[in-house]
Structure 1
Amino acid sequence: MKNTQLLIISILLFCNFGFAQTGETKSSKESTKLEFIFSPGVLVQKEIFTEFNIILGEVSDIFPPKFFPVVGVQGYRIGLETNLKSNEDFIIAPKLGYEISITFFSMRLSALNYFQNNKSEFRILPELGASFGGMFNLTYGYGISFNNTISGISNHRLSFSINLNKRLSKANSRLRNH
């Protein structure tokens, strides 16, 4: 378990380093402001799950672009996913991760723990996919399991999520009109 915790801390520190590097490339006139982004979604991994996340991060809306507009979100995610079933089929998973979803590209890395009755399964979940302005994301992920104890979950997943934030919505309007 200590190795798992060390792995999670290392991943989050790596993500934080990337976040700091992005902030350093901006001009000194721009300040990095952390914002909350609500991120609900639906995913399929052997059965349908819903997810509810909150991202604490930065909303990017760089206009006019040097090459192409940079519109999107990057930051830490905390959330929960569930299959919304009842009785012994109910599965719930709290998760912690990091997301970068800008213009046309989405990438996430999460650590999550599934619970079903008295069973528990920990996974590291990298995801890659397409994004529309960091707002609409379609990703594929592969859950790396450390103990296969819950049979109702596949290692493969397809996820669709929406990042909801007022500033991000305005930036996407500008992107569509650009």
Structure 2
Amino acid sequence: MPKEEPKIPYDKAFSPGIIFQDDVFADINLFIGSTIANKKNYIPIAGAIGTRMGFETNFSKDNFTIAPKIGYELSVEIISLRLSALNYFQQEKSEFRVLPEIGLTLGGWADLTYGYGIQINDANLHNVAQHRVALTFNLNKQFTKDVFDYFFKN
């Protein structure tokens, strides 16, 4: 009888974070994709691979800015890569950007990334820089437990 290939789970996770650029932004997303942290399969691996949908905002009364976005994340073991498309809205101004990010991850559970926003149109927005640093988490009860077991248990 042929041996069954292990199935990679398909999960959802709440993905909050904080972004530091010219202003501090909250990052609120839904992650939908595959999460795994397992030493028992053919190849031991911990990571998150999938789509991120949400928005970022500064919640500020002065220069209130909100940016809906969609992106793709590949965070495996200690390396995190993301590519997002987002549109910043600030008063009557609108600016579309493509955002590649690279950084460190703890098995896809926590990511510390550097990103560079490539402006497609320049709306001269206040408080939105091209360079940014972000700290985000993929919060799912089972995935969190699996990642901590993977990295911190023998």
What TM-score, normalized by structure 2, do the two folds share?
Answer: 0.90
> If each structure's strand is expressed as a fraction of its own residues, which one has the higher value?
2
> If each structure's helix is expressed as a fraction of its own residues, which one has the higher value?
1
Equivalent residue, structure 2, for 1:18: none
| Distance in 1, Cα, partners of 2:104 & 2:42 | 22
Whose RCO is larger (CA < 8 A, sep 6+)? 2
What SS does structure 2 have at the residue aligned with 1:89? coil
Aligned length: 150
Equivalent residue, structure 1, for 2:111: 137
What SS does structure 2 have at the residue aligned with 1:171? helix
**Structure 1 segments of 4 or more deviating over 3 A?**
64-67
Q: Which runs of 5+ in 1 are unaligned?
A: 1-26
Does residue 148 of structure 2 align to residue 170 of structure 1? no
Shift of 1:61: 2.0
Equivalent residue, structure 1, for 2:9: 33
Does residue 50 of structure 2 align to residue 75 of structure 1? yes
Residue pair 1:127, 1:141 contacting (<8 A) in 2 also: yes
| Distance in 1, Cα, partners of 2:78 & 2:116 | 20
From 63, 85, 98, the equivalent of 2:72 is: 98
Aligned-pair RMSD on alpha carbons?
1.7
| Distance in 1, Cα, partners of 2:99 & 2:12 | 22
Shift of 1:143: 0.4
Identity among equivalent pairs (%): 41
Q: How does 1:17-32 map to 2 (within 5 A)?
A: 28-32=4-8
Does residue 31 of structure 2 align to residue 84 of structure 1? no
| Distance in 1, Cα, partners of 2:95 & 2:127 | 11
What TM-score, normalized by structure 1, do the two folds share?
Answer: 0.79
Q: Deviations over 1:91-118 (max 9, x none)?
A: 0000000001122111110000000011
Cα distance, 1:34–1:64 mapped onto 2, change above 3 Å: closer
Residue pair 1:100, 1:107 contacting (<8 A) in 2 also: yes
| Distance in 2, Cα, partners of 1:137 & 1:71 | 13
Residue pair 2:37, 2:107 contacting (<8 A) in 1 also: no
Residue pair 1:137, 1:161 contacting (<8 A) in 2 also: yes
